[in-house]
Chains A and B, each alone.
Chain A
Amino acid sequence: MNEGDRVHVERGGQEFEGVLLPSSTPEQLVVKLESGYNVGIDREDATVDVLESDVYDIESAQDEDGQSSIEFEEGLPTISLISTGGTIASTVDYRTGAVTAQFDAEDVLRAVPDLAGRANYRGRVVANILSENMTPEVWQDLAHAIYEEIEAGADGVVVMHGTDTMQFSASAVAFMLDTPVPIVFTGSQRSADRPSSDNVMNAVCAVEAAKSDCAEVLVCMHASQSDDRCALHRGTRARKNHTSRRDAFETVGRRPLGTVEYATGDGDTDVSFRREYQRRGEADLDIAADLETDVELVKFTPGTGPAMLDAVADSEGIIIEGTGLGHVNTDWIGHIEELIDAGTDVVMTSQCLDGRVCDRVYDTGRDLLDAGVIEGEDMLPGTAKVKLMWALANTESTAETMRTPIAGEITDRSVSEAE
């Protein structure tokens, strides 16, 4: 008896006939009935007859037959689709019952036929992992892959990425690359195997953004719960602010940099921007992908003693997510000073997320500055972590780099933006 066999199962007078499916537990048989329903039957009590072997090849059922029908069209821009895994490129794993990434970029083209006719596509797989498994090493592979794609003539790059850590990867790429073309990260919050997946609109809008004039690293995701438009966030200012909603991503502190109006069928998909951005061709392609990965992000909350810092004492760099304007319990300050004296760069950010760190207002802040802490301006803590990795490996003065905008991660002026 193997998975994919047509079987007859009897259990206490009840009879079932169908295809044996992979089960997540050894105690249970899972049978797909003629009606399409799956049922679980206790293996111990069941009598199984194999009616026909290998009716279905479960392993390859997901694979498409036939080749992609995508053809090169003269006059359309070339967009490189880079897949790293994640929900947008995922489908159900019937062994574990979980959603995993199984698609390469070609599959995405087949899965989203709406992409056809919008560009000529190059496909590339850098990784096939869920974004919680993303590492700085993959960021580097990704940056090199994007660099090669642009060098090979891509007019824009779309990176399909899991949403959990998309903002980190987008920040890393933004620090590592000078780009003459748009690099657009997109993903989906609802898996591609459901008719309501947000992958179709996100992918279409990402391709349109990648064709636009904005040569920056962007995150392109739903702007609202409706399938009407995507927001374009600067990668270094974006944050996943909801666990499950389609419009989970927000630009912290401001409205998104741009918008892609979505239109189905032959309608025009319009890309617009609210603020200044780096234009296509303004920058020359360059890469600086080195990272000092020995950097940690530490969050201070009431009741957390300075011993927390012992665990990260030998790090090359530490980002502290402090309270308010950038504070920690006074007890921490001596420890922090010791770390800095021992050669660790310590950068202060705020768990308020929105607003600028200012350690010159209260005594605690002034003491932190005296101890040698670097103010992280209005950088998001996660972005600051990625930047510190990059700064330690690529620049002379870490402190100066951390306070200087490199890729839109710091805004010069804090402004209130009306809706």
Chain B
Amino acid sequence: MSEYDYDDLGLVAGLEIHQQLDTETKLFCACPTRLRDPEEASRTFTRYLHPTKSELGELDQAAVEESRVDREFEYLAYDTTCLVEEDDEPPGRVDEEAIETTLEIAQLMEMEPVDQAHVMRKIVVDGSNTTGFQRTMLAATDGVIETEEGNVGIEDLMLEEESAQRVEETDSGVRYSLDRLGIPLVEIGTRPDISSPEQARDAAEQIGMLLRSTGKVKRGLGTIRQDVNVSIAEGARVEIKGVQSLDDIDDIVRNEVGRQVELLDIAAELADRDAAVGDVRDVSEVFAETDSGVIGGALSGDGRAMAVPLFGFDGLVGREILPDRRLGTEFADHAKRHGAGGIFHTDELPAYGVTEAEVEDLRDAVGAGPEDAVALVADDPETAELAIEAVADRAEQALDGVPEETRGANEDGTTRYLRPLPGAARMYPETDVPSVDLDPSEVDPPELLTEKISRYQEEFGLDAALAEQVAYGHRMPLFEQAVEMGVDPTLAADTLESTMTELRRDDVPVENVTDEHFEELFALLVEDELAKEGIPELLTALAENPELSASEAAEQQDLGSAGEDEVREAVVDVVERNEEQIEAEGMGAFSALMGECMGALRGKADGDVVSDVLREEIQKRA
């Protein structure tokens, strides 16, 4: 794809960053914020959702479109979820830890909290919320972050509940898992101050660093999601949902600019050609005898083929607007939203078993000439009609250029149509939760990760690389906790970073080691019940048997820190076995015997202690 002059095009981009908070309990109930395996579900139940009006009496367009598909939602419940997630109990008050963290984040971005945060219901009827809405509150506004290409304004900060995790499509709808529903989530919206793909990525990285500085955000895949809003001067605002990786942000922006440029180009071409969208017609007759498996299959029974003539569109429906995505793909996205499997259009026909003669008949049937295109949907009568109308509507929009819409990010950096942009009508107050007075004075500003790196070096004597590794690593809070407990900072950092990395390289399943394991391990170190030499072995044991506590694993592995008596006993044993060597070499035998002593004690004893005792015992005999 060619590189554009973004200034020239008037690129305006904004980010919406969604970050899960690592609180003890969920936003509106006392359930833990723990993710579960769908197989661990203890119960399931099914529901339907129906769109409702806002307090101003309006229906949200996006919600209406979503609800056209009558779907049954199945929910997986766990022993870690409760009736609140199941929408069978009113929500509790807003979690205080989440509010505190939100205020910290507001402070880091120099934002002004609102006086009272009002919990709103944002209508979402795709089943991802059992209630049919997401609870969300505007907590702060008017902040700023710095990027290399200049400041980016932060428009707003929302505290909201995470949605349920989609597990899979079912025959009658969608299956969702309730474990994720209700985890506190902050949404940070930037102002549209971003003017290049690189700045978009830079801003996202900066926001990510600030969020992690609180030490209270979740880490790992899916815990942070980026939405990107993009428009160019002649184009339209498009919201792109669910960009999973920071690395994709600049590509997404670049591609969306390209898509809007192409769509504008197509619109200009259509204007030149005096193009128009004709009336939808039933063309089932044309395909009565068709050899096309797809169309024939759809027409068996009472299926219908519906077509719309696109006057002046010939060649443009097949025009590529994103890598491997054509204008026709956009039409197909809209048809799919209304239940159809896809569409056919004359720019790609004859093909798929559709003959040249059938294409000619199709053109005749809808009054289309050689400069025109025809789009076609074959399905059950209701779906075919809804889908072809949706295609016709989208084709109308092509005449004007770029439609405002919500799109979903694909893994390859392209995007697909999801739904219309939601409006204010999708919001109405959550009356079950009283508003929250926000008092920023109760919150201490957290230390930035960048500040932590310097402090770890100055205060704890970590080297720069290790300090950065710890500060940016997701076990940073554990590190601070360990130091607080009295563990040597370098040992704590090594344990959490280098040791874990080494073990991972040795294929030890270190992902099984929990925060609790580490807390127990550090406690054992502080109480001298574990020698630092025993750490790798203990972590390995815990990784392989995560159901054990650290002390249980230490006991099983016989890693209890040996007392001085035990050390001396072992050392004396070694020394007596090697009396000849000591007599011959004196202290020269130290290194060789030290290794043997440590081996005999199998990581149970601190090396310094062993070396002291060994030195004494050699001196006695030398």
Decide: A36 near B120, CB < 8 A? Known: A11-B115, A195-B50, A245-B83.
yes
Nearest chain-A residue to B158 (Cβ)? Answer: A37
**Interface size range of chain B in the complex:** 35 or more
Pick the contact of B141 from A14, A21, A92 — CB < 8 Å? A14
Task: Find out whether the CB atom of A41 lies under 8 angstroms from the CB atom of B114.
Answer: yes
Decide: A94 near B55, CB < 8 A? Known: A13-B142, A32-B424.
yes
Contacts of A290 in B (CB 8 A): none
A11 to B116, alpha carbons, bound, how many Å?
Answer: 13
Task: Find out whether the CB atom of B50 lies under 8 angstroms from the CB atom of A265.
Answer: no
Task: Find out whether the CB atom of A194 lies under 8 angstroms from the CB atom of B121.
Answer: yes
Q: Which residues 370-404 of A sit at the B interface, judged by CB distance below 8 A?
A: none
Contacts of B112 in A (CB 8 A): 12-14
Interface-located stretch among B86-94, B465-473, B557-565: B86-94
Task: Find out whether the CB atom of A92 lies under 8 angstroms from the CB atom of B429.
Answer: yes
Task: Find out whether the CB atom of B46 lies under 8 angstroms from the CB atom of A39.
Answer: no
Shortest Cβ gap from A201 to chain B (Å): 7
Nearest chain-A residue to B90 (Cβ)? Answer: A244
A305 to B142, alpha carbons, bound, how many Å?
Answer: 63
A11 to B426, alpha carbons, bound, how many Å?
Answer: 27
Task: Find out whether the CB atom of A225 lies under 8 angstroms from the CB atom of B122.
Answer: no
A127 to B397, alpha carbons, bound, how many Å?
Answer: 50
Contacts of B290 in A (CB 8 A): none
Decide: A193 near B47, CB < 8 A? Known: A39-B118, A97-B429, A225-B88.
no
Interface of A is mostly: loop
B428 proximal to A (CB < 8 A):
yes
Decide: A61 near B125, CB < 8 A? Known: A94-B429, A196-B130, A245-B89.
no
Contacts of A194 in B (CB 8 A): 52, 121, 131-133
Nearest chain-B residue to A201 (Cβ)? Answer: B48
Task: Find out whether the CB atom of A225 lies under 8 angstroms from the CB atom of B116.
Answer: no
A246 proximal to B (CB < 8 A):
yes
Contacts of B132 in A (CB 8 A): 194-196
A42 proximal to B (CB < 8 A):
yes
Shortest Cβ gap from B414 to chain A (Å): 28
Pick the contact of A226 from B47, B57, B122 — CB < 8 Å? B47
Q: Which residues 198-227 of A sit at the B interface, judged by CB distance below 8 A?
A: 200-201, 224-227
Contacts of B51 in A (CB 8 A): 195
Contacts of B207 in A (CB 8 A): none
Task: Find out whether the CB atom of A244 lies under 8 angstroms from the CB atom of B83.
Answer: yes
Contacts of B503 in A (CB 8 A): none
A39 to B120, alpha carbons, bound, how many Å?
Answer: 10
Q: Which residues 100-136 of B sit at the A interface, judged by CB distance below 8 A?
A: 112, 114-118, 120-123, 125, 130-133, 136
Decide: A196 near B131, CB < 8 A? Known: A28-B115, A39-B116.
yes
Contacts of B49 in A (CB 8 A): 195-196
B450 proximal to A (CB < 8 A):
no
Nearest chain-B residue to A111 (Cβ)? Answer: B52
A69 proximal to B (CB < 8 A):
no
Encoded as 1 (CB less than 8 Å from any B CB) or 0, chain A from 156 to 183 comes to 0000000000000000000000000000
A71 proximal to B (CB < 8 A):
no
Pick the contact of A92 from B48, B88, B428 — CB < 8 Å? B428
B431 proximal to A (CB < 8 A):
yes
A273 proximal to B (CB < 8 A):
no
Encoded as 1 (CB less than 8 Å from any B CB) or 0, chain A from 97 to 111 comes to 111000000000000
Shortest Cβ gap from A133 to chain B (Å): 19
B285 proximal to A (CB < 8 A):
no
Task: Find out whether the CB atom of A61 lies under 8 angstroms from the CB atom of B114.
Answer: no
Contacts of B55 in A (CB 8 A): 21, 58, 61-62, 92, 94
Shortest Cβ gap from B111 to chain A (Å): 9
Task: Find out whether the CB atom of B48 lies under 8 angstroms from the CB atom of A36.
Answer: no
Task: Find out whether the CB atom of A195 lies under 8 angstroms from the CB atom of B46.
Answer: no
Contacts of A244 in B (CB 8 A): 83, 88-90
A67 proximal to B (CB < 8 A):
no
Nearest chain-B residue to A11 (Cβ)? Answer: B115
Contacts of A68 in B (CB 8 A): none
B27 proximal to A (CB < 8 A):
no
Q: Which residues 27-55 of B sit at the A interface, judged by CB distance below 8 A?
A: 45-55
Contacts of A192 in B (CB 8 A): 52
Task: Find out whether the CB atom of B435 lies under 8 angstroms from the CB atom of A40.
Answer: yes
Nearest chain-A residue to B436 (Cβ)? Answer: A40
Shortest Cβ gap from A148 to chain B (Å): 32
B56 proximal to A (CB < 8 A):
yes
- Which of B67, B90, B427 has most A Cβ within 10 Å? B427
Contacts of A228 in B (CB 8 A): 46
Shortest Cβ gap from A242 to chain B (Å): 8
Nearest chain-A residue to B427 (Cβ)? Answer: A36
Nearest chain-A residue to B434 (Cβ)? Answer: A97
A407 to B67, alpha carbons, bound, how many Å?
Answer: 43
Q: Which residues 185-221 of B sit at the A interface, judged by CB distance below 8 A?
A: none
Contacts of A38 in B (CB 8 A): 118, 120, 138, 427, 429
Shortest Cβ gap from A164 to chain B (Å): 14
A41 to B56, alpha carbons, bound, how many Å?
Answer: 20
B425 proximal to A (CB < 8 A):
yes
Pick the contact of B56 from A35, A40, A61, A201 — CB < 8 Å? A61
Decide: A225 near B431, CB < 8 A? Known: A36-B425, A196-B130.
no
Nearest chain-B residue to A36 (Cβ)? Answer: B427
B70 proximal to A (CB < 8 A):
yes
A200 to B52, alpha carbons, bound, how many Å?
Answer: 12
Task: Find out whether the CB atom of B83 lies under 8 angstroms from the CB atom of A97.
Answer: no
Q: Which residues 429-446 of B sit at the A interface, judged by CB distance below 8 A?
A: 429, 431, 434-435
- Which of B55, B63, B89 has most A Cβ within 10 Å? B55
Shortest Cβ gap from A370 to chain B (Å): 47
Shortest Cβ gap from A60 to chain B (Å): 8
B137 proximal to A (CB < 8 A):
yes
Shortest Cβ gap from A283 to chain B (Å): 36
A133 to B43, alpha carbons, bound, how many Å?
Answer: 36
B599 proximal to A (CB < 8 A):
no
Shortest Cβ gap from A187 to chain B (Å): 15
A33 proximal to B (CB < 8 A):
yes
Contacts of B56 in A (CB 8 A): 19, 32, 56, 58, 61
Decide: A196 near B87, CB < 8 A? Known: A14-B112, A36-B425, A39-B138.
yes
Encoded as 1 (CB less than 8 Å from any B CB) or 0, chain A from 69 to 105 comes to 0000000000000000000000010100111000000
A364 proximal to B (CB < 8 A):
no
Contacts of A94 in B (CB 8 A): 55, 429
Pick the contact of B423 from A12, A19, A21, A36 — CB < 8 Å? A36
Nearest chain-A residue to B55 (Cβ)? Answer: A94
Nearest chain-B residue to A61 (Cβ)? Answer: B57
Shortest Cβ gap from A57 to chain B (Å): 9
Contacts of B142 in A (CB 8 A): 13-14
Task: Find out whether the CB atom of A34 lies under 8 angstroms from the CB atom of B50.
Answer: no
Nearest chain-A residue to B140 (Cβ)? Answer: A14
A16 to B429, alpha carbons, bound, how many Å?
Answer: 18
Task: Find out whether the CB atom of A40 lies under 8 angstroms from the CB atom of B118.
Answer: yes
Contacts of A36 in B (CB 8 A): 54, 120, 122, 423-427
Task: Find out whether the CB atom of B86 lies under 8 angstroms from the CB atom of A225.
Answer: yes
Task: Find out whether the CB atom of B427 lies under 8 angstroms from the CB atom of A35.
Answer: yes
A416 proximal to B (CB < 8 A):
no
Task: Find out whether the CB atom of A245 lies under 8 angstroms from the CB atom of B121.
Answer: no
Nearest chain-B residue to A42 (Cβ)? Answer: B115
Shortest Cβ gap from A186 to chain B (Å): 16
A200 to B89, alpha carbons, bound, how many Å?
Answer: 18
Minimum-distance CB pairs A-B, first 8? A195-B132, A40-B116, A36-B427, A36-B424, A37-B138, A61-B57, A38-B118, A226-B45
A sample of 22 cross-chain residue pairs with beta-carbon separation below 8 angstroms, ordered by A number, consists of A13-B142, A33-B424, A36-B424, A36-B427, A37-B136, A37-B138, A38-B138, A39-B118, A40-B118, A56-B56, A61-B56, A92-B429, A97-B434, A98-B431, A193-B52, A194-B131, A195-B131, A196-B87, A226-B45, A227-B72, A244-B83, A246-B88
Known contacts A28-B435, A225-B86, A226-B47, then 16 further A-B pairs from the complex at CB < 8 Å, ordered by chain A residue: A13-B142, A16-B141, A28-B116, A32-B424, A40-B118, A56-B56, A62-B57, A98-B431, A194-B121, A195-B52, A195-B63, A195-B131, A196-B47, A196-B49, A200-B50, A227-B46
